[in-house]
Amino acid sequence: GDSVTQTEGQVALSEEDFLTIHCNYSASGYPTLFWYVQYPGEGPQLLFRASRDKEKGSSRGFEATYDKGTTSFHLRKASVQESDSAVYYCALSDDTNAYKVIFGKGTHLHVLP
Amino acid sequence: GGIITQTPKFLIGQEGQKLTLKCQQNFNHDTMYWYRQDSGKGLRLIYYSITENDLQKGDLSEGYDASREKKSSFSLTVTSAQKNEMAVFLCASSMGQNNQAPLFGEGTRLSVL
């Protein structure tokens, strides 16, 4: 079945550091990819999505580029802030079943002041 | 704007008890979801419903029942609570077409004594 792999379970950075969270996927069809962010006590909220190869999604300084060749959708931010501390989830929905949305295990980002 | 309301916010149960979680949305979305969130395991899909009276099993449906009584509501039943179980159950909804991103409620936090 389809799956999403996030390599890092926890990431600790200092303010103004560069962030990369790795996301690789496996899908039988041509998936749409998502990044979500979750703050304590809240539900996950969508950062952005991308639907086709080479498409870049971006929001709030975060960005990721859909790479069908490497089956990746890595999240990046040039300069993190303490307020970016949260859990980040990569997710996909496959075009063979657009209703079923599968999430990765999440990456907990801690940004130290 | 719309909202997804999950009740109750906190649920304490006894081992072997049947427990029901409720979810209401006023986005007029067709598709609704139930996910289970455990630390280190991410979000795992339990059930989803493409439209009223439809039910689709996710990857974690064993031990759960679901009911889509009407378009705006989706309930989840834990058929027999497991001792020391602790998890957050997240409800979500989406338009369901064109790989739309689900929008999430704030969750129900379950503890089983």
Residue A58 CB partners (closer than 8 Å, separation 6+): A48, A64
Distance CA B34, CA B107 (A): 10
The reported pLDDT for the residue numbered A100 is 87
**In which element (H, E) is residue B111 found?**
strand B108-112
Q: Above pLDDT 90, what percent of chain B?
A: 83
**Cβ-based contacts of A45 with chain B (< 8 Å):** 103-104
From B4, B45, B103, residue closest to A100, measured CB to CB: B45
**For chain A, what's the residue count?**
113
Between CA A88 and CA A46 the distance in angstroms is 10
Report residue A101: phi and psi, to 5°.
-110, 120
Task: Give the per-residue pLDDT at B83.
Answer: 87
* Confidence band for B56, pLDDT divided at 50, 70 and 90: very high
Q: Is A81 helix (H, G, I), strand (E, B) or coil?
A: coil
Nearest CA in chain B to A7: B40
| pLDDT one-digit tens code per residue, A30-75 | 899 999 999 999 999 999 999 999 999 999 999 999 999 999 999 9
HSE toward the beta carbon, residue A89, CA cutoff 13 A: 25
Distance from CA of B110 to the nearest CA of A (A): 14
Rg for chain A, CA atoms, rounded:
14
Q: Does the CB of B1 have a partner CB in chain A at under 8 Å?
A: no
Closest partner residue to A104 (CB to CB) among B33, B42, B99 is B42
**Encoding tokens for residue B62?**
């064993």
Give the number of other CB atoms < 10 A from CB of residue B96.
19
Determine the distance from the C-alpha atom of residue A90 to the mean position of all C-alpha atoms in its chain, rounded to a whole number: 4
Query: B93: which strand partners?
Result: B32, B103
